[in-house]
Every structure is written in C-alpha cells, then in structure tokens.
Structure 1
Amino acid sequence: MIERFEDARILMYSHDTFGLGHLRRCRTIAHSLVEDFRGLNILIISGATIAGAFDYRARVDFVKIPSVIKLRNGEYTSLDRHIDLHDTLEMRTSIIRHTAETFKPDIFIVDKEPLGLKGEVEDTLAYLKTRGTRLVLGLREVMDAPHLLDAEWKANGVMEKIDRLYDRVWVYGPPEFYDPLTGLDVPETVRSKMDFVGFLQRRVSSDEDSSHRPKGDYILVTTGGGGDGADLVHDVIHAYQNDPTLTCRALVVLGPYMPAKQRRKLKLKGGKIPYLEIIEFDNRMEELIAGAKGVVAMGGYNTYCEILSFDKPALIVPRVKPREEQLIRARRASELGLIDMLLPEEAAEPLRMADALKALPDRAPPSAKAGGLRLEGLPHISEIVGKWMSVAEPGRLSVVKN
C-alpha cells in the first residue's frame, strides 16, 4: 500500500565531518520514505564534500553546507584552511536555520549529533519546536564507549536538551544487539521517547550495475570513507605479499577521503599483485557488496547493514580510536557469530591476515547465526511517519490510500 500526502516535507540533518556514514544513512531513509509516500518531499542538509557524487531519487534533494573535517586526533578544522572554523560554523548555522524557515518541514530528523556539530542545530531545533514540527533524533545502535559519550554529553548538557527538544529518539538497531545509551544516566522521560526501529536494510539498485564490479568471484575490501583506512588496505596487501598461496581475487575500494599520498602509495604497492584490483571510490557500494564472496571492512554502521542485508561472510578489522564505536559493534557481532574479527594489531601480522582472507569465502553467512536479528528499520520508520502524517494538522496534509 502506498499513501499519498500532499506537500508533506521532511528535513534531515547530517553533519558529515568524517566518512560517509551519516549521509548514506540519511539517503537510505529518504529513498525508502519517498517510495512509500507519494507527494512527500525530503531535503537533506549535509556537510559531506562529495554529497553531489551520489544519485538521489525524485523528491529527494540536498543542501550543501560548508565542509568541516575531523582530524585523526578528533579535532575539527574547516575544509577551506583560509576560513576560520568559527566563521565556517557561523555560516553552517545560518544556512541550517534559513533552510528550515524556508522549507517549513513537518518532520526534522537529526542524525547522530543531538545538537549538531558544535551545537549548530540547537537554534533551529528550538525554532521548529515553536511551529509544531516533529523533532526526531536518529542514533546508531552503537555511539561510542559509554565513558567517552557520557563525558562528551555532560560537558554540553546534551541529555537535558534531548529531553526538552526532541519528540522521539530512533535507534537504528534492535535492542537485543546493543543499547547506544548503555552506561549513561538516562532519565525515564528520555527512555520513554526511544524507539528501537531496527537495522536499515539495503538493496541493489534497479539501475545499471557498478562499472567496477569484477566478473567472477572476488572478495571486497572496503574502508568506507577511507579517511583512516590506509592501515587496513596495507595489511591486506602485506598478506598477499607474504603468502603465495593467497590467490583469491580482491577488489579494494580505498574511499574518497583517503589522503592522496596514501592512495598513491597503496595503488603502487597493490598494482604489483595480480590478484588485486584497487579503485578509489564507487557510489554503488551495495552492488559491489552484493556481488562479493566475502567482505573485509572496518565495520562502520552502513557497511555492517550491507553485510547483513546481502548475507555476506565478513572479516572486520575495527577502528579502535579515537572512538570505540566500531570496536564495540565488531565485538558484539563476533559474540553473536555474525562476523569474524581481527584487532588492528592482529591484522598487521601478514600470515594471520592471509589465513583469515583465505578462510573468508567459506565462512557461514550471518543468517546462519542471526536468529531473530532482522532488518526492519525502514518499514518501521515508514509506519511511524505514516501515523504522524495521517493525524497532521487539518488542511496541511491529506491522505489518499491507493
């Protein structure tokens, strides 16, 4: 059943300072919603430098705000080094507020950062609350180590502001996998707003396949955005260099945010190995994962959803600092038997990495152990949005069921 809403509008915010995870998650949700609801228009505010490199469905568009990047030490800087970070944040804040005032959304969904980067969304949240917009905070199923998240949020009074500003908190995972606020002092008023909607299922586009997809069997090595993925690619190359019996073909996707010097070095080293094909970026990662015999990754949220969606054997080498999100997710998934995991120092041992790569294609897929761990996030979100829209202010929205 498809519902039609006349001129319904959803605004989404994705701060995007490191990697592609936030934008890709927002885009996935937006595409699912416009498929389910005709007449719905969605606008994504994004700081991703390559937001325009992705395809967007009809009635989904984006507003690009000046880019801020996160450094390896966790600090932020303007992408344009000639513009002060403070000035960049002022521009971003102004654009976000003006977009909200002009677009007049019925629902505003904020991805991961409750107040936005350095608080840049707080003013807009307060404004939209006065006009009756539904305010939703969307959280990954794993945010960070509890002590790190607790310290960060307490320093900025985040929990109290979530309680005061937001109507609902969507958790993009099932409660039996992980609670993103575990270990924090969560008021009951915030707990009562939380909906564990489930993982966000991915699917292959009906459009033309990726031009990078190899013919025949291959394993896929992906670093996500690639900003800190050079070590993983180096470890894979090192494994091939040290084990002549490692002959499975591999497609390596470096990621668009990998520094140019590291990209050149890895492409030069990997180009000497006949079993490796190395590319920089593909905006159709779903197709590459769907066609692979197995996946080697750092285990960010989106890649993990794709591994589950396409039921692929996976070897995860998680990032362990400055955030522990990937490590926590990998350990939990390994406990459940869904993936194999190597810590970075283990993956750096070439023969150990080679053994793991050789075993990967024959590993049981996640479905063999997943049990009731289903991917229900997108239909659950549509169900919630449909209920909200159906009881919206009379005259603002009308519903026609086809």
Structure 2
Amino acid sequence: MRFLFYSHDGMGLGHIRRHLAIASALAEVSPKVKVLMVTSVDEVCRLGLPPNVDTLKLPGLRKMANDRYNSRRLGLPTDEIHALRSDLLHQTVLSFRPSVVLVDKNPFGASGEFSMALRAVRSSGGRAVLGLRDILDDSATVRREWPGESVQERIADHYDLVLIYGSPHTLYPIEQYQVVPALRERMTYCGYVVNQSEWGWTAEGTPLLLEREPGRPPIVLGTTGGGEDGFTLLKTFVHASAGAPWEAIAIAGPMLSQQELSTLQRLASDSGVRLHTFIPCLSNLFSKVDGLVCMGGYNTLVEALSQ
C-alpha cells in the first residue's frame, strides 16, 4: 500500500516532524507500506527515515504571512514558484499512484498548490486525509482563513477523513472554529502525534547529556525549532546564561541565517554556552535536561510535555 504525505513547509520543522512520526508508526505496524514524504525542508533526511520511507524535495518557500509565501532560494515570482510546485505535486501523484494521501494543516496547499494533485487522487480512487492540530490558530484567524461555509464544505468534498491531532478533553475545535456539519462528519480525534524516535544524536556532540554526574549544575536547553525566527530569543538566552548557576545548551536550528549564527557563535563562546546548529532528535533531550527555554511552538510543547 502506498502513502503520500504532503506538507507545504513554509516555516519551521513542525509539519515534517509530525509526518515523520506518523510514517515511523506506519512502518512499525505494517513494514511493507511505502511512504513518500513530499516536503521543502532540506534537513528531512537528517531527521532519520524508517524503512520504505523516502522523500521528494520541493523548491523551498518562505512564509511571509498567513497564506503568503515567497520563493526561498530560486528567486522566482510567487505565481511561478507555486505553479512549479503544483506541477511537481500533480505529476508525483500520477506517477506514484498513492492509495492514501495525508496532508498536514493546509488542505489545498500553499496558495492552492495541492488542488490539482488532490483532484488526481480523487479521480484515481485514492483516499484523501487531512491532518489538523487541535490548535490551528486563534479562532478569529481560522474563521478568516476559512470564511463562510463554502471553504469548509469544499474540504468535506475533497477529503474522506479529517484527523484532529489532540483530545476533545483538551480543546474542542469544532466549536471554537465554528465547523459546519458537512466537515464535522469527517472529523475524528486520534490523539497527539509525538516523535518517539530512538535514533542516536550523540554524533552532534552532546554525549555529556547522557551521564549526569552528582553535584553537577542543572542543564537548561534553549531551542527555537527550525530557528528561522528565533535569533532574538536565543541571543537573550545566551546573554542570560553568562555566569548563571546552570549549564546552558543552545540549539540554533538549521534555518537560522549564517550571519545570525555567526553572531550567536561569538556570544556563546564568550558566555560559556554550548551551541549546536542542529540535533536530529532534539525531543529526545527534553527528558534529560532540567529546564527548557523555547518559543512555545506547538510541536516543541507537545513533545516536551510527553516526556
């Protein structure tokens, strides 16, 4: 059975990490499944891929605002980069012939780029599943992005199932987001999606976290996920850690600009902070540190609370 996972990935690593967790669970339950993850995240292979899982790299996008994206590297006009990605997605569906397509958060892709591929899935008899976090955004923003009944009914027309990543006992988005009956019938809660990887991360140079010596100061970890918008927080964390009664470890993130990374490296060296650019299985560290400083990103918080 073939699965295609699509995430638009305009900001951060959360979408692809969620899909990687689901792909890992699928591979464990049914080792013969084939999963193709379509993403624009450069670091996806460094996160570790289970057997029978591979990736298709799309030209990158940079999120400028909600539903506004620019070309990350090619410098193409917005309409051209979306047209290119749309064609790649459509041809991938036609060639790979997935039985099930799983889409993360954005039902029709960035600026509608997945619409043509989604129609191809339906035409070939495949099933389409939309995965949504229980917290998408504040209610007003979600209602603005899904105005009226037409958008929600369109989602219901194109998707067989809508998975809510979460619990109705924590948040009930059906009421918060004023979901129409046609879409409500497609929704089901599946619990929180958390990476439980056992991949080794010591190659990134933090083996000291594995063995805590008696009397050693507490360890505080500072991370901003992908890092693209995290420079200010990490700079503040590094400054605060200078001479503090804790050991500080900062993870810059693979999307931090080179200029900002160089600044952090200089500050970290002066402050005695261990700075790493990227650790593949960062969530594995959460249970091994005494404190976590982060931006409150959805995936980071869910994975930290699960430890």
What TM-score, normalized to structure 1? 0.70
Contact 1:213-1:291 within 8 A present in 2 as well: no
Gaps of 5+ in 2: 213-217
- The separation in 2 between residues aligned to 1:278 and 1:34, in whole angstroms, is 34
- The separation in 2 between residues aligned to 1:204 and 1:51, in whole angstroms, is 14
Matched pairs, number? 299
- The separation in 2 between residues aligned to 1:102 and 1:173, in whole angstroms, is 33
**Number of the residue aligned with 2:260:** 262
**Number of the residue aligned with 1:197:** 190
Gaps of 5+ in 1: 1-7, 311-402
**Alpha-carbon shift at residue 195 of structure 1 (Å):** 1.0
Change (3 A) 1:118 1:206: closer
**Number of the residue aligned with 2:215:** none
Deviations 1:83-138 (CA, angstroms, capped at 9, x unpaired): 22211111111111111111111111000001101001112212211222111100
Deviations 1:200-250 (CA, angstroms, capped at 9, x unpaired): 233241546453325135221110011111121122123234xx5x22101
Structure 1 residue 306 corresponds to structure 2 residue 303: yes
**Number of the residue aligned with 1:375:** none
- The separation in 1 between residues aligned to 2:228 and 2:281, in whole angstroms, is 19
- The separation in 1 between residues aligned to 2:135 and 2:57, in whole angstroms, is 27
Aligned amino acid, residue 82 of structure 2: L
Structure 1 residue 287 corresponds to structure 2 residue 284: yes
Contact 2:253-2:277 within 8 A present in 1 as well: yes
- The separation in 1 between residues aligned to 2:162 and 2:67, in whole angstroms, is 25
**Number of the residue aligned with 1:251:** 249
**Number of the residue aligned with 1:319:** none
Cα RMSD of the aligned pairs, angstroms, is 2.1
Deviations 1:55-104 (CA, angstroms, capped at 9, x unpaired): 21110011111111113787421122432221111111111111111111
**Alpha-carbon shift at residue 160 of structure 1 (Å):** 2.0
Q: Secondary structure at the match of 2:54?
A: strand
Aligned amino acid, residue 49 of structure 2: Y
Q: Secondary structure at the match of 1:71?
A: strand
- The separation in 2 between residues aligned to 1:214 and 1:72, in whole angstroms, is 38
Contact 1:11-1:105 within 8 A present in 2 as well: yes
Q: Secondary structure at the match of 2:32?
A: strand
Q: Structure 1 residue aligned with 2:53, among 54, 60, 66?
A: 60
**Number of the residue aligned with 2:181:** 188
Aligned amino acid, residue 222 of structure 2: V
- The separation in 1 between residues aligned to 2:47 and 2:199, in whole angstroms, is 15
- The separation in 2 between residues aligned to 1:142 and 1:162, in whole angstroms, is 18
Q: Secondary structure at the match of 1:97?
A: helix
**Alpha-carbon shift at residue 38 of structure 1 (Å):** 2.2
Q: Secondary structure at the match of 1:247?
A: coil
Q: After the TM superposition, which segments of 4 or more aligned residues of structure 1 sit over 6 Å from their partners? A: none
**Alpha-carbon shift at residue 286 of structure 1 (Å):** 2.8
Change (3 A) 1:57 1:141: same
Q: Structure 2 residue aligned with 1:95, among 88, 95, 103?
A: 88
**Number of the residue aligned with 2:275:** 278
Q: Secondary structure at the match of 2:204?
A: coil
Q: Secondary structure at the match of 1:110?
A: strand
Higher relative contact order (CA 8 A, sep 6+): 1
Structure 1 residue 16 corresponds to structure 2 residue 45: no
- The separation in 1 between residues aligned to 2:196 and 2:221, in whole angstroms, is 17
Aligned amino acid, residue 48 of structure 1: V
